[in-house]
Every structure is written in structure tokens, then in C-alpha cells.
Chains A and B, each alone.
Chain A
Amino acid sequence: MVIENILQTPLSNIVLITGFFLFTIGLWGVLTHSNIIRMIIGFSLISTGIHLVMISIGYLTNKTAPIINDEIKSELLTSVVDPVPSALVLTSIVISLGVTAVMLSYAIQIHQTKKTLSINDCSEMKW
């Protein structure tokens, strides 16, 4: 019964739920861990989850990728998925890559000055 229900769930819904799960796991990781590297992994999970959610919102039932070829040229409007979320996710992946790289370089710098990776030892900016 339950398995049948899962099998009947549309694909984009599964992707959407997976994305939300990843976001929540990432948020949990950022909030609970004190190791900076683990927090960075949490942020990466958050952005990956957001990408999955955006992609699943752009999916239209039983449509194909928005690349024009001879087969779908005649009925283009009814045969491709939404191209705008894909373009947004492309931008978003690059931005999250840059953010992750900057965070990692901060981690290196913190490790070099304090010889530790625990966020609890960085209390100068804490009020």
C-alpha cells in the first residue's frame, strides 16, 4: 500500500522532498557542529538541496529537456520543460562554489592563526 503510493508519486515531488531533506540536514549540521569544516559541508548540503528544489519546480509532466531538435521542433511549446529554473540553477551552482571556496580559505586562515578548527575558540566577534 505504502509502496504503491510512493511509486505513484510524481518524480518532481520526490526530487522536491529530497531537496528539502538535504536542506534540513545541512541546517542541522551548521547549527550543531562546532568543527568549521563540518559547518562548510552543511552549507554545501543546503545549497545542493536548494538546487534540487529549484529544478523540481521547473519540471513539467512528461516533458523533455529544453534543447531543440528535429523531433520536438514542430510542437516545441508542448514538449519541453521550463528553461528558466535550469538557467538559475546554473548560476546558483557557480555562486555556491565560490562561496564554499571562500569559506574553506577562511578555515585555512583560522587554522593557521589559532591552530584549531573549532568555532568555539573564535569568540572575538561574538557579542
Chain B
Amino acid sequence: MLRRIFIFIILLMTAWVFADIALNFTERTQLTGVSKYYVENTAKELGAANIVTAVVVTYRGLDTLGEVTVLFIAAAGIGLMLSRRKQDQHVKQRVIASEVVQTATQIILPMILLFGVYIFLNGHLTPGGGFQGGAVIASGAMLLLITLPDQPFNNQLLHRVESLSGFFYVMIGVLGILLAGGFLDNRIMALGTFGSLFSAGAIPLIYLLIGLKVGAELSTVLQRFRW
């Protein structure tokens, strides 16, 4: 009983704080501070059409490296924890997907992978980017897990793709120190025509590496959860 009262009080206090914020909230009407700088200078400094991508990959590129690191540590921790599962404990028969699902997978899976690649290659032009594209690729891996539950993935390939793309991502960052303004600067390559696929310097390359890394990582995590 006392516990319920405590919970109720906590929820009430949270709701009170939130209500206070929500009632006094007025929509902003103009850009201020650092976002004004980003909006003004992205096109001429970095040549990227998508300002969010410019902020994520270049202006705050170190944060994104940290984000990739967090995801890597999470994947490594899951691998450590779930690899000790006893394999022979659950030998019950897995349900095999019907023929409709199997045939549809053969048609849809290449398209899903292609769509993921499209998303992360166009991250500097349209909404999207490495993490979103990687998640789409991992959804393809999920479909594969449903269709062929007993088929093991090529783990060695996934690990290689993951570590190589992580390595080259950091290398591009270091090249930024040597050739351009600083760590993860995208101007190590020519900026190109604004708005075309090969523009914005190293951003498409970085997002390609991040997309491959996140896709491989999430696929590994998904198959770790396979019963």
C-alpha cells in the first residue's frame, strides 16, 4: 500500500513538472545561436543539402563517433552475454516458414538491401543516413531469420565488414586532421556540385561506412536473439 502511494506521488510530481512546462510552452519563431550558424553556413562550407546530416557527420562528428562506439559496445556486450547460452537446452523444432513467405523473401530481400544502400548513399541529399540505412538492412536480416530459422549467418563476414568499416571511418577522421581543418572534416575530398550524388566531400563515404557498420552490427545482434 505504501509503495502504491509512493508511486502515485512520484507520478503526480512528474506530471506536475511536465504540465508546467507544457502550459508555458510557446512555439519558437526564429533560429538562434548555433543552429543559425549551421543553417547559414552548411551549403557554402560543407556543400551538403541536408543540414541535419551536416550537423551529425561533420559539425558534431565526434559525437557520432561516440554513438557508433556505444552501439558497438552494446553489440559486444550482448554477444558476451548471450554466447554463454546452452545450445542443446532448447532443441525443440522450429516452425519453418511457409512456401509463400520463402518465395516472397527471395523477391523482397534484394530490394530491402538495395533500399538500405539507397538511404545511406543519399543521406546528404534527402532525409536518411547511415543509421537509418543500416536499420533497413538489419530488417532484411530479420526477414531472413523468420524465413530460414535454422540457417546460420556468415558471422565472419559480418565481423569483418563491421571492423573494417569502423577502422576506415576513424581513418577518414584522422585524414581530416592531416589534409583539412580537423578530425572528421569532410573537405578532404572536393565538394563537387551542390545537390548531386557525389558532393559534400567525404560525407557520402562516411555514411556508407556507418551504414555498413550499423547494418552488420544490428544483424549480429538480431541473430544473437535467435532462440
Contact = CB atoms under 8 A, between A and B. Distances in A.
Interface of A: 10, 12-13, 16-17, 20, 23-24, 27-28, 31-32, 57, 59-61, 65-69, 73, 76-78, 80, 82-84, 86-87, 90-91, 93-95, 97-99, 101-102, 104-106, 108-109, 112
Q: Is the interface of B mostly helix, strand, loop or mixed?
A: helix
A14 B135 CA distance: 28
B189 to A, nearest CB: 20
B28 A13 contact: no
A108 B225 contact: yes
Interface in B6-38: 7, 10-11, 14-15, 18-19, 21-22, 25, 27-31, 34-36, 38
A16 B89 CA distance: 47
A104 B227 CA distance: 13
Contact of A24 (B14, B30, B31): B14
B27 A24 contact: no
B14 A94 contact: no
Given A101-B78, A108-B82, A68 B42 contact: yes
B7 A28 contact: yes
Interface stretch (B49-57, B92-100, B162-170): B49-57
